[in-house]
Amino acid sequence: SQTIHQWPATLVQPVGSPLSLECTVEGTSNPNLYWYRQAAGRGLQLLFYSVGIGQISSEVPQNLSASRPQDRQFILSSKKLLLSDSGFYLCAWSLFLGLNTEAFFGQGTRLTVV
Partner 1 sequence: SQQGEEDPQALSIQEGENATMNCSYKTSINNLQWYRQNSGRGLVHLILIRSNEREKHSGRLRVTLDTSKKSSSLLITASRAADTASYFCATGNSGGSNYKLTFGKGTLLTVNP
Nearest CB to partner 1, comparing residues 39 and 82 = 39
Give the C-alpha separation, 93 to 49, whole Å.
9
Q: What is the DSSP string of 68-91?
A: EEETTEEEEEESS--GGG-EEEEE
Nearest CB to partner 1, comparing residues 36 and 78 = 36
Residue 85 CB, nearest distance to partner 1 (Å)?
Answer: 18
- Interface pick for partner 1 out of 44, 56, 58, 73 (rule CB under 8 A): 44
Tell me if 8 sits within 8 A of 112, measured CB to CB.
no
- Closest C-alpha to 94, from 4, 9, 8: 4
User: For partner 1, which stretch binds (CB under 8 A), given 19-27, 63-71, 79-87, 93-101?
Assistant: 93-101
- Interface pick for partner 1 out of 13, 22, 65, 104 (rule CB under 8 A): 104
Give the C-alpha separation, 111 to 8, whole Å.
9
Contact residues for partner 1, defined by CB under 8 A: 6, 32, 34, 36, 42-46, 49, 51, 57, 88, 90, 92, 94, 96, 98-108, 110
